[in-house]
């Protein structure tokens, strides 16, 4: 089939009366003028034989957007498979019904707090949610402006709310938006207050959402909700500062360059650093203000190539000590550090490098362990993250837990004092924010960097020390993106039926189907392989994107500082070979 014929839907698709009727009815009810205009134009074009328009309609009406443990996340636009005002109103009505059903007769009505970021539809979706919640009889608190996700997670606990909603698509493309739900108050136990929803709450909420409800059947209040005082951000900052050591305030001299990547972190982080006694960071001016188009980056994620270029250029120009980046809703943290010039090496002038999520995780965790040990605090990381933190914790005599992927699990670890996930997520103050928080984590990173600087050392020196004690640990990922979600299941089935027997030339000594559970972990759709040289691969379908993720880890012993460059080069080469091996096993 050639490309031209492949792009043309069949006549049955173009003229499908059920599809066209559904689209026409959606356009009739759609409360958003722009979305309605888009849909009406596509309907007309499809009726005129435009195959692209018909294909777009079929995609928009492929089924209702599924509500799960990540809430909702999709491209903005009209139709039940997109993020829009109709979907948000129906979802809000379903969440309200769930809260009312669970708290009926509990005294006061359910309390819910609603936040939003600076993406295109976020404020409108938040206002629609507040109107639905208030009309349903919920006590509703709306955050006063576009603020980071950690402020909403903080507000759930701070206000004693029974639930929280954050309208955000985090670091997704500019076209996307999302609807993240937290439970608190009387809806969960202490470990879950202010944490993202888990099963069975997601299914229970989903069961209350009527995807076919006429919009005029969902009451909307014109007012009656409370707009939180602008001091909510100051309250968050005050609580966040408690993560720092109260007796080490002198060690806070640091030259920091910061980028919020056109997100809402700039509304909080610079003031937070100033409150904590650090010099106010230099914010990259081209990326300082929220902008839903994210004009200076190809993809609004600090892990993506090019996203940090402006920040690194500013750091070089200003002779900075540290680069800090948040993703657009500021729940993730990325760090970059200067690499010193090699003395005597021709052409060596030093440069900057990004730290991996696992490197930041072990740095922050090790830094906090001295405070956590006396209180019996626990450190944790997800199973797809490096095993290094567990080795450090064992030597430091601090309890360690391994969880399933996602902060909805990490944040619920009993006694949690610090938790992290390799995808730049860190929970450094669970009593303040029971979720990943890129701003309190930035404070802890700055505290560590400043203390080391006073000793004439750097974060890279600290990583060298960790490597000498526990071995060089190299981690990476291989992601296989698919157009058809069914391919994910077929690739996992292929591995289950024909697992690899060697990885990068080393025999596989342990094969674990995590679907059957593993040690203390409940079952999850993932596979783990450990080879004779202690290399590890974990393969799992992504929970938010159409791709298969392979998490790679290589460990190499090292006995002397002089060996570190060679051993790190060997580990990097082994990591590349490991990626090739699992890629071949997947047929990629």
- Rounded CA-CA distance 89/407 in Å is 26
Tell me the average pLDDT across 265-291: 97
C-alpha pair distances (Å), 427 with each of 365, 486, 539: 10, 34, 24
- Rounded CA-CA distance 261/308 in Å is 8
Please write the tens of the pLDDT for every residue from 67-76.
988 899 999 9
C-alpha pair distances (Å), 43 with each of 7, 54, 521: 18, 8, 49
Whether the predicted pLDDT of 348 surpasses 50 = no
DSSP string, 519-538: TTBPP-S-EEEEETTS-EEE
Whether the predicted pLDDT of 139 surpasses 90 = yes
Tell me the average pLDDT across 282-299: 97
pLDDT band at 350 (very low <50, low <70, confident <90, very high): low
C-alpha pair distances (Å), 192 with each of 91, 166, 314: 21, 16, 40
Other Cβ atoms closer than 10 A to 559: 9
Both tokens of residue 103? 């708290």
Please write the tens of the pLDDT for every residue from 237-270.
999 999 999 887 767 889 999 999 999 999 999 9
- Domain 471-585 CATH superfamily: Alpha-D-phosphohexomutase, C-terminal domain (3.30.310.50)
Cβ contact 548:488 at 8 Å:
yes
- Rounded CA-CA distance 102/125 in Å is 24
Whether the predicted pLDDT of 5 surpasses 90 = no
- Rounded CA-CA distance 138/342 in Å is 62
C-alpha pair distances (Å), 236 with each of 114, 410, 472: 15, 21, 37
Prediction pTM value: 0.94
Asked about 7 being catalytic, the answer comes back as no
Using a 10 angstrom Cβ sphere, with 0-12 exposed, 13-18 middle and 19 or more buried, the burial of residue 484 is exposed
Residue that the structure tokens 């990173």 belong to: 445
Give the length of the chain.
588
Cβ contact 395:369 at 8 Å:
no
Cβ contact 124:174 at 8 Å:
no
Q: Which helix (H) or strand (E) holds 424?
A: none
- Rounded CA-CA distance 334/438 in Å is 8
Say which range, 225-229, 247-251, 291-295, has the weakest mean pLDDT: 247-251
Share the mean pLDDT of the chain.
93
Q: Shortest CA distance to 188 belongs to which of 155, 164, 152, 167?
A: 164
- Rounded CA-CA distance 364/447 in Å is 10
Q: Shortest CA distance to 571 belongs to which of 465, 466, 467?
A: 467
Q: What is the pLDDT of residue 15?
A: 60
Residue 148 neighbours by CB under 8 Å, 6+ apart: 117, 263, 264, 265, 267, 268, 326, 329, 330, 331, 438, 439
Q: Which helix (H) or strand (E) holds 122?
A: helix 122-135
Judged by DSSP in three states, 137 sits in coil
C-alpha pair distances (Å), 83 with each of 5, 64, 152, 228, 578: 30, 10, 20, 25, 39
pLDDT band at 560 (very low <50, low <70, confident <90, very high): very high
Residue 12 neighbours by CB under 8 Å, 6+ apart: none
Residue that the structure tokens 């809000």 belong to: 92
Class (C level, CATH) for 233-455: alpha beta
Say which range, 8-12, 386-390, 456-460, has the weakest mean pLDDT: 8-12
What residue ranges do the domains of the chain occupy?
A: 1-62, 67-229, 233-455, 471-585
Q: Is the peptide bond before 10 cis (omega within 30 degrees of 0)?
A: no
Q: Shortest CA distance to 408 belongs to which of 197, 202, 206, 199?
A: 197
Both tokens of residue 395? 């030597």
Judged by DSSP in three states, 242 sits in coil
164-178 burial code (b ≥16 CB/10 A, e <16): bbbbbbbbbebebbb
φ, ψ of residue 538 in degrees (nearest 5): -120, 130
Both tokens of residue 203? 């299914």
Which one from 122, 145, 170, 579 is the annotated catalytic residue?
170
Q: Are strands 506-513 and 333-339 parallel, antiparallel or unpaired?
A: unpaired
Q: Shortest CA distance to 146 belongs to which of 178, 128, 120?
A: 120
φ, ψ of residue 290 in degrees (nearest 5): -60, 135
Q: Which helix (H) or strand (E) holds 359?
A: helix 357-375
- Rounded CA-CA distance 36/55 in Å is 17
pLDDT band at 6 (very low <50, low <70, confident <90, very high): very low
Write down the CATH number for the domain with range 67-229: 3.40.120.10
Whether the predicted pLDDT of 544 surpasses 80 = no
In sequence order, which ranges of 2-70 are alpha helices (DSSP H)? 3-6, 11-14, 17-29, 33-47, 51-60
| Cα-based angle 267, 77, 438 (whole degrees, multiple of 5) | 25
Q: Shortest CA distance to 558 belongs to which of 447, 458, 473, 443?
A: 473
Please write the tens of the pLDDT for every residue from 482-521.
877 778 888 899 899 999 999 999 999 999 999 989 888 9
Same fold, 67-229 and 471-585: no
Write down the number of H helices and E strands in the chain: 19, 22
């Amino acid at each position: 089939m050639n490309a031209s014929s492949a792009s043309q839907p069949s006549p049955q698709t173009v003229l499908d009366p059920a599809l066209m009727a559904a689209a026409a009815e959606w356009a009739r009810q759609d409360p958003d003028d722009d979305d309605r205009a888009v849909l009406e134009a596509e309907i007309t074009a499809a009726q005129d034989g435009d195959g692209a328009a018909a294909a777009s309609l079929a995609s928009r009406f492929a089924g209702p957007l599924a509500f799960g443990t990540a809430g909702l996340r999709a491209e903005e636009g009209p139709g039940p498979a997109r993020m829009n005002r109709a979907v948000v109103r129906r979802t809000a009505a379903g969440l309200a019904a769930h809260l009312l059903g669970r708290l009926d007769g509990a005294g006061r009505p359910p309390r819910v707090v609603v936040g939003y970021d600076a993406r295109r539809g976020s404020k409108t979706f938040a206002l629609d949610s507040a109107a639905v919640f208030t009309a349903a009889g919920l006590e509703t608190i709306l955050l006063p402006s576009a603020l980071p996700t950690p402020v909403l997670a903080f507000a759930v606990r701070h206000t004693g709310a029974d639930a929280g909603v954050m309208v955000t698509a985090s670091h997704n493309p500019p076209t996307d938006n999302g609807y993240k739900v937290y439970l608190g108050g009387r809806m969960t136990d202490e470990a879950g207050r202010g944490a993202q929803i888990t099963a069975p709450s997601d299914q229970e909420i989903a069961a209350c959402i009527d995807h076919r409800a006429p919009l005029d059947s969902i009451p909307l209040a014109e007012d009656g909700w409370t707009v939180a005082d602008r001091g909510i951000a100051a309250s968050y900052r005050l609580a966040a500062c408690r993560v720092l050591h109260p007796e080490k305030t002198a060690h806070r001299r640091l030259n920091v360059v910061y980028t919020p990547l056109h997100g809402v972190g700039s509304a909080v982080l610079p003031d937070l650093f100033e409150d904590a006694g650090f010099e106010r960071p230099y914010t990259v001016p081209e990326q300082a203000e929220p902008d839903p188009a994210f004009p200076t980056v190809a993809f609004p994620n600090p892990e993506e190539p090019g996203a940090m270029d402006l920040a690194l250029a500013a750091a070089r120009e200003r002779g900075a000590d540290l680069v800090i980046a948040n993703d657009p809703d500021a729940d993730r943290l990325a760090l970059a550090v200067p690499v010193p010039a090699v003395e005597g090496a021709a052409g060596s002038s030093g440069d900057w490098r990004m730290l991996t999520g696992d490197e930041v995780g072990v740095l922050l965790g090790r830094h906090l362990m001295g405070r956590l040990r006396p209180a019996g605090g626990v450190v944790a990381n997800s199973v797809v993250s490096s095993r290094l933190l567990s080795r450090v914790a064992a030597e430091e005599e601090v309890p360690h837990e391994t969880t399933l992927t996602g902060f909805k699990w990490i944040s619920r670890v009993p006694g949690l004092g610090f938790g992290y996930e390799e995808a730049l997520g860190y929970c450094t103050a669970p009593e303040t924010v029971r979720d990943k928080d890129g701003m309190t984590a930035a404070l802890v990173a700055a505290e560590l960097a400043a203390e080391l600087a006073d000793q004439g050392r750097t974060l890279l020196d600290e990583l060298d020390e960790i490597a000498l004690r526990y071995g060089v640990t190299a981690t990476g990922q291989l992601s296989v993106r698919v157009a058809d979600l069914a391919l994910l299941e077929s690739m996992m089935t292929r591995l289950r039926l024909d697992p690899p027997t060697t990885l990068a030339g080393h025999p596989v000594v342990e094969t674990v189907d995590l679907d059957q559970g593993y040690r203390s972990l409940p079952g999850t759709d993932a596979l783990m392989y450990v080879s004779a040289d202690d290399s590890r691969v974990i393969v799992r379908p992504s929970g938010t994107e159409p791709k298969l993720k392979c998490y790679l880890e290589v460990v190499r012993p090292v006995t002397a500082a002089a060996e570190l460059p060679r051993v790190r080069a060997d580990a990097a080469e082994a990591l590349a070979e490991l990626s090739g091996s699992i890629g071949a096993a997947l047929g990629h």
